[in-house]
A and B are shown apart, each in its own frame.
Chain A
């Protein structure tokens, strides 16, 4: 188990941090998160239009 943990830790060190790939992974996760937020924003805008069409006021939630 210890050897397994060490091999995982060592490979992470060399592959993930040692070579600077951590920054690439972080950037990819950030882009995915930003894309998700953008999709939510798009949904938000379309809902605004629908609410106007339906005559619904944008009520304050909870």
Chain B
């Protein structure tokens, strides 16, 4: 009964994660700005948003919205003209002097908190000078929206892939660790059951490695604009998967030779060390597009909020349990196969 429980428990966790990650809306955020400078004394700035609607419907409802343009310590208030679900239009009096020739937009909203867009307006004609201040910035507002996934520039809606791509690599690490420990135990004891465990775990780990590569490549296409980029983390992941593919080929090619388990165990230990070096150590010492690689990988630095955490941690557990289930099935198949061969 307990065997059934953990297996279906893992599946239930994943079902919950899938539902939540696809149906939870994204926090709104600005993705683009357009400035109409036809009137030299009053520019019209249109800010475009993605994510949860700023207001319901398309009727103008500017109450509670405040737009401030900032350039270092200079702050300029803009007059909000209209607000739609994913668009805000405001009027800005162009400044004469500014510390730098661009303005960042800060928008206080009644429900979605304070939303910022860097370099929203270019002010090429402004004289560099003492910043003048004509606007007081109000208190930064926290979001009062119900559960939303955070808005991350460039990542946008694809942030939902976090619940698939990252836990799949975690599952791969977990399963490959089992394979590594089993190989070490085999080398120490010579007991064939450890070789069987290493064999089954490497198959499952490889499956999750390939899934991690596919989900990562799709994510890269939408966030970085290419299916693959020459990044130490990505190349390291590919080399790791190829090394484990080599392990599978080694096992398949050497047949039932008695020396296979020992040879495979040695290769597996080498492969796991390479996995740790290529995925966890080397990318830290190189410039990488991949998040969390230029320092200690703490989750807080990845901009996980509590809503994401409530999906991400169950996803890690769920994919880990599913991976372990697949591993046990593979192991049992190997045992049955061996038993049938010995008859």
Residues of A at the B interface (CB closer than 8 Å) are: 1-3, 5-6, 8-10, 12-13, 16-17, 22-23, 25-26, 29-30, 33-34, 37, 40-41, 43-44, 47, 50-51, 54-56, 58-59, 61-62
The CA of A32 and the CA of B22, in the complex, are separated in Å by: 15
B244 sits at the interface (CB 8 A): no
Within 8 A of A (CB), among B1-37: 7-8, 11, 14-15, 18-19, 21-23, 25, 31-32
State which size class the interface on B falls in.
Answer: 35 or more
Min C-beta distance of A23 to chain B, whole Å: 6
B135 sits at the interface (CB 8 A): no
The CA of A43 and the CA of B331, in the complex, are separated in Å by: 12
Find out whether the CB atom of A12 lies under 8 angstroms from the CB atom of B157: yes
Contacts of A22 in B (CB 8 A): 22-23
Find out whether the CB atom of B326 lies under 8 angstroms from the CB atom of A30: no
The 6 closest A-B pairs by CB, nearest first: A9-B50, A26-B22, A37-B11, A54-B339, A6-B32, A6-B31
Q: Is the interface of A mostly helix, strand, loop or mixed?
A: helix
The CA of A26 and the CA of B331, in the complex, are separated in Å by: 32
Find out whether the CB atom of A13 lies under 8 angstroms from the CB atom of B48: no
Contacts of B285 in A (CB 8 A): none
Sample (27) of A-B pairs whose CB atoms are under 8 Å apart: A1-B225, A2-B32, A5-B156, A6-B31, A6-B48, A9-B157, A10-B86, A13-B51, A13-B86, A16-B157, A23-B22, A23-B23, A26-B18, A26-B21, A26-B22, A30-B15, A33-B14, A33-B15, A37-B7, A37-B8, A37-B322, A40-B325, A40-B326, A47-B333, A54-B339, A54-B340, A62-B197
Query: Given contacts A33-B14, A56-B339, are A13 and B50 in contact (CB under 8 A)?
Result: yes
Contacts of A26 in B (CB 8 A): 18-19, 21-23
Number of A-B contacts (CB under 8 A): 88
Find out whether the CB atom of B50 lies under 8 angstroms from the CB atom of A6: yes
Query: Given contacts A9-B31, A41-B7, are A25 and B22 in contact (CB under 8 A)?
Result: yes
